[in-house]
Amino acid sequence: MQIKMIGIDHSKSPLQYREKVAFSTVRNIEFLNILKQEENILGGVVLSTCNRTEIWISYKDKLENEIDSILCKFKNINLYEYKKYFTYREDKEAIEHLFMVSSGLKSKILGEDQIITQVKNAVEISRESDFLNTTLDVLFRNAITASKKIKTQIKFKKGSFSVVDSVIKKLEKLNINVKDKSCLIIGNGEMGRLASEIFIKNGANVTMTLRQHHKGDVVIPVGVNIINFSDRVEVLPKFDIVISTTSTNRYMLKYEDVVKVKLKEKVVFIDLAVPRDIDEKIFSIKGTIGFNIDDFQIEENEINSFNETIERTKEILNEYIDNFYKWYYNKDLITNIFEISQKVADDTILRINKLVDDNTKNIVEKSSKKSIEKLIFCLRDNMKPRDFKNFMNILEKNYLNEDI
């Protein structure tokens, strides 16, 4: 099928390796432009989240350069060192993996909602970069549609999850009640807004940083206070909980800055960013407790409670996977279907040409064409690909290769 995927994720790679391969939106676009220059690569999508970076390509013939070497050169990292953390998938395995990822079945927090938006955003970046070919477009569209259907029709026994929900649960287990606590969120992107909403829902008093030049451009969740991003270190003494969620490549909180301010007696630092936002040396400051993204996941003893839900989820995924396969294996026949339907319509008009007026002829032509298309597409969706190709060969011989 000539679809490839290379990925690095939480199941195989430590955070310090994942963060070196993570992409911001700007770097995503830059990398897609690099891939565009590669001979035989027809399209690409880069999915970069807190827990994974995955690169998908559609190609023809043989690749001159493998994706892992292109990636490592772009990121200025050693291929030999990283190869053991990469996962390589092709064709059927790659396709089915994508559906599992977009539905949340591959997430650290099983069934999380956020992944659907992340997949949609990755596809949109490729589309805007003019690097989303038809095969990847149809593939990702089916995966996203399946995931939306799962979200609306299937409820996981413990509800829908995000990594922030897991943060709340972990704090509860440590007897840290967030109600009435002062919480600082560094970063106003999707993760920052989600963290704000969930902490407010749980009774916290939330303040979010906002860069001066972003004022008026960012939707701020109801009930959230705003401070200037540049004041983030200065205001730390006011807060019980500090959460950082940006997508930059440098620390938002440095040890040498934080150690100079007088923190509260007990402060929780939570770093949900990849690459990391908070210098982990800060976690050693007296009275502080710190976590990064790898500290949050579904409990192992809870997984069995999801078995029935997982099976129902896979049933929906398989339906849309089959839809993609039917489209892919027959995509070269679509033009012929339209040509055959037009030939049948022309044949019909010739037979009634002497009996009706021009207006009726037009109506009959359009109706017969649509009827034949509906019939052929119905057969395509209910036949094995090989049988359908044989069927189309018969029609082509009788309609496209002979004059009426």
Query: What string of pLDDT tens digits covers the 404 residues of the chain?
Result: 799 999 999 989 999 999 999 999 999 999 999 999 998 999 999 999 988 999 999 999 888 899 999 999 999 999 999 999 999 999 999 999 999 999 988 887 777 778 899 999 999 999 999 999 999 999 999 999 999 998 888 776 544 467 888 899 899 999 999 999 999 999 988 888 889 999 999 999 999 999 865 555 677 888 999 999 999 999 999 999 999 998 888 899 999 999 999 999 999 999 999 999 999 999 999 999 999 988 887 554 555 556 778 888 999 999 999 999 988 887 766 666 666 667 666 666 666 665 566 677 677 667 777 777 777 777 777 777 777 777 777 767 766 665 54
Contact 171, 193 (CB under 8 A): no
Amino acid at 251: Y
pLDDT of residue 332: 64
pLDDT of residue 32: 97
pLDDT of residue 404: 43
pLDDT of residue 129: 96
Q: How many CB atoms lie within 10 A of CB 225?
A: 12
Q: How wide is the angle at C-alpha 123 spanned by C-alphas 30 and 198, nearest 5°?
A: 105
User: End-to-end distance of the chain based on CA atoms, in angstroms?
Assistant: 36
What residues does 225 pair with on adjacent strands? 207
- Is 183 catalytic? The answer is no
In the set 50, 72, 183, 378, the catalytic residue is 50
H-run or E-run covering 96: helix 91-102
Alpha helices per DSSP H over 154-296:
163-173, 190-201, 255-258
The strand pair at 41-48 and 52-59 is best described as: antiparallel
pLDDT of residue 394: 73
Q: How many CB atoms lie within 10 A of CB 209?
A: 23
Architecture of the domain made up of 163-298: 3-Layer(aba) Sandwich (3.40)
What's the rounded Cα separation, in Å, for the pair 239 and 256? 19
Query: pTM value?
Result: 0.75
In CATH, 3-153 is 1.20.1250.20:
no
